[in-house]
Structure 1
Amino acid sequence: MSVKTKTITVFRGDGIGPEITAAVLRILQAAKAPLDYEVFDVGAAVYEKSGAFIPDDAFASFEKNKVMLKSPITTPIGGGFRSLNVTLRTKYDLYANIRPAKSNAAVRTPFPNVDIVTFRENTEDLYIGEEEKIDDDTVHAVKRITRRASRRIIRDAFEYAKVHGRRKVTCVHKANILKQSDGLFLSVFHEIAGEYPGIEADDKIVDAVCMHLVMHPETFDVLVMPNLYGDIVSDLTSGLIGGLGLLPSANIGDGYAMFEAVHGSAPDIAGKGIANPTAFLWSACMMLEYIEENEIAAKIRKAVDETLPNTSVLTPDLGGKGTTETYVNEVIAKL
């Protein structure tokens, strides 16, 4: 029986983006993933040549294929263009940002029992980027929370917990201070929680969550929260498992899906051959699961788990003495 091939869009990004993209595509090919690729250069380097951060044909490819694998893109701090990640999430209504953080026995941290999935609302909150300069000394920023956006991300978190046999969903908020905006998010959470009597539901203030995460992370299961808290808390969870180089993510909407590593473009190590592709590879596994290629995703995950104990092939950020190439070669050998 012939296997139907799925065409996906690939953005190579900036910094280490092209290196980890090449690494992950090699592994996907070795795993015999039934994929074809439409690969595009995007980001600051492309802008310097063409005047567009994302070329029109790259947008058209994603709109046709509906699934994207995107490596990191550099975003200027304090000026320049708006984050292309935020632009893509808003343009295609990729409202659910899902970031699983799970301890791996081969990566030594003080927290061996972390298994947390963060559901971050992806389209509103302060990330709408609406700011107004009142005078030279005052700037206002708009925090937008809507019932519609809150309902769909919270329901997705509960549905995920139901399908995956998770025990608890925790709402993270600051409704004690932001009584209307976060208060709306919290009220929607309790409303929807009532529809899932088999799943424990609780809520915690975001600062308390951060404290408990670094003391007793094993007490958390599925977390759901507005955009800004989700960005910060999910980075914190990555630190519990060994760093951003081990944290994958999915950005899911009703019609489109984008899979990316959470870490930045790391221009300081670009071209040195030591970029860690793990987070991007695990994001690709989430993509495979999204298109129902679960067996291939499981095979790749197993190969990575068998590779991580071998420090001679790992990249320096994982405590290894190897390179991107030695890491990829070992994963392929385990396949």
Structure 2
Amino acid sequence: MKEIYDIAVVPGDGIGPEVSKAAVRVLTEALGSTAVLRFAEYPAGAELFQRTGDSFPAATFEACRSADAILHGAAGLPGVVHPDGTEAGLDFTLGLRSKLDLYANVRPIKLWPGVTSPLRGREVGDIDYVIVRENSEGLYAARGSGVFLRGEVAMDPLVQTRKGIERIVRFAFELARTRGGAPADGRRRVTCCDKANVLRSYALFREIFSEVARGYPDVEAEYALVDAMTLHLVRQPSHYDVIVTENMFGDIISDLGAATVGGMGMAPSAELGDGNGFFQASHGSAPDISGKGIANPYGTVLAGAMMLDWLGRRHGDRRLLDAARRIELAVHDALAQRNALSGDIGGTMGSADITGILCANLAPAASAA
């Protein structure tokens, strides 16, 4: 257990500064007088690139590398791109993944009270699974290193290695052991999502998944092709507990999953390595609503709770673990009892009001901490 945890906050672009500010306020309230988090802001993103030509300064990377955890708002602005057409705002997130080897992208998909799923008849408790996305290999690892010939031919390689696959699959099975199982039957289950019937790289993913699964007889292992998975997540989401998959497939199906629980504003994420952790909501920078006070802060607040849980487990710090649980309870109560819904999930409440309600829910517990 540490006396003080240093948190590097990178607000980013668009609504990023608004939602990161909300999360910092809630985190501070949850820990109350203990004051164990020390926040410091650092610049990165598309807006910075427009002003300076540098989207990810070396000083920001060094601060993130040495911090106990990294909290991010959002990145990217339309039209702010490099000469090759790729988004400058993504340099920060993609750069951190590769430089800090953040190989496990953890994306919980959970239906909260008060939020209406577009899936007919789905209620709270029906949708509660986690997508574990391999974050360091796959198709996205080719960014900046593919082939582009005279504006006529472009190629991006899809690379998967035994080491990369084995560690992400093991991560998924270990995660399943900490959960209560799938909502439909309570069984701990890890689903391998791939395209093994077409591509050798995914056939290797499935082969190594099977090898690792044999070491976890207490967790059920199963397989689904990614095209079928998009159907299953709509028709039978309650069947799933933990899903593990390649980088690009994980990106796609996690957005689909988020749509079933209220959208990207309700979707936190963690990107974890053996030594560093990076936390943010899954949504983009939404520049069309920036500065209007209507951004949904729940995804970033819940990402902050994931950060506390990760830090608390790493350092054996009960203060952080308790605060993480209180934040989740505060979110539950805000949605269930106070109808604190932002516009994207069917309400009219602004981000400041939602943040205030969350802090009010936390205040009694924080004062007693």
TM-based fold match above 0.5:
yes
Q: Deviations over 1:221-265 (max 9, x none)?
A: 110000010000111111111111111111000111101111000
The residue identity in structure 2 corresponding to 1:319 is: G
Which residue is 1:20 aligned to? 19
Q: Does 1:90 pair with 2:98?
A: yes
The residue identity in structure 2 corresponding to 1:61 is: A
Counterparts of 1:53-92 in structure 2, within 5 Å, are 53-74=55-76, 76=80, 78-81=85-88, 83-84=90-91, 85-92=93-100
User: SS at 1:12's partner residue?
Assistant: strand
Q: Deviations over 1:7-47 (max 9, x none)?
A: 11110110000111111111112112620011112212222
Q: Does 1:307 pair with 2:343?
A: no
Structure 1 residue 93 displacement after superposition: 0.5
The residue identity in structure 2 corresponding to 1:59 is: F
User: What is the identity percentage for the equivalent residue pairs of Structure 1 and Structure 2?
Assistant: 38
CA contact (8 A) 2:129 2:242 kept: yes
Return the match for 1:325 from 344, 348, 352: 352
User: SS at 2:271's partner residue?
Assistant: strand
Q: Does 1:171 pair with 2:192?
A: yes
Q: Does 1:162 pair with 2:177?
A: yes
The residue identity in structure 1 corresponding to 2:326 is: K
Counterparts of 1:221-260 in structure 2, within 5 Å, are 221-260=241-280
Q: Does 1:7 pair with 2:15?
A: no
Structure 1 residue 300 displacement after superposition: 1.0
User: SS at 1:268's partner residue?
Assistant: helix
Distance 1:165 1:159 in 2: 13
Distance 2:99 2:89 in 1: 13
Which residue is 1:34 aligned to? 36
Q: Does 1:185 pair with 2:193?
A: no
TM-score (norm 1): 0.95
Distance 2:352 2:177 in 1: 39
Q: Does 1:122 pair with 2:135?
A: yes
Distance 1:315 1:190 in 2: 43
CA contact (8 A) 2:272 2:278 kept: yes
TM-score (norm 2): 0.86
CA contact (8 A) 1:169 1:201 kept: yes
CA contact (8 A) 1:314 1:324 kept: no
Q: Deviations over 1:268-314 (max 9, x none)?
A: 00000001110000000000001111100111111111111367643
Distance 2:86 2:270 in 1: 27
Q: For structure 1, which segment, 139-148 or 73-82, has the greater mean C-alpha deviation from structure 2 after superposition?
A: 73-82
The residue identity in structure 1 corresponding to 2:132 is: F
Distance 2:60 2:100 in 1: 14
Q: Does 1:278 pair with 2:293?
A: no
Q: Where does structure 1 differ by over 6 angstroms across 4 or more consecutive aligned residues?
A: none
Q: Cα gap change, 1:226/1:68 in structure 2, threshold over 3 Å: closer, same or farther?
A: same
Distance 1:57 1:136 in 2: 35
Count of equivalent residues: 333
Q: For structure 1, which segment, 61-70 or 180-189, has the greater mean C-alpha deviation from structure 2 after superposition?
A: 61-70
CA contact (8 A) 2:111 2:127 kept: yes
The residue identity in structure 2 corresponding to 1:99 is: R
CA contact (8 A) 1:214 1:240 kept: yes
Consecutive unaligned residues of structure 2, counting only runs of 5 or more, are 182-187, 313-319, 363-369
Counterparts of 1:140-159 in structure 2, within 5 Å, are 140-159=155-174
CA contact (8 A) 1:248 1:261 kept: yes
Q: Cα gap change, 1:272/1:311 in structure 2, threshold over 3 Å: closer, same or farther?
A: farther
Q: Cα gap change, 1:80/1:195 in structure 2, threshold over 3 Å: closer, same or farther?
A: closer
Distance 1:139 1:189 in 2: 31
Structure 1 residue 54 displacement after superposition: 2.0
Distance 1:52 1:66 in 2: 25
Q: Cα gap change, 1:82/1:321 in structure 2, threshold over 3 Å: closer, same or farther?
A: closer
The residue identity in structure 2 corresponding to 1:322 is: M
Distance 1:139 1:46 in 2: 29
Structure 1 residue 105 displacement after superposition: 2.4
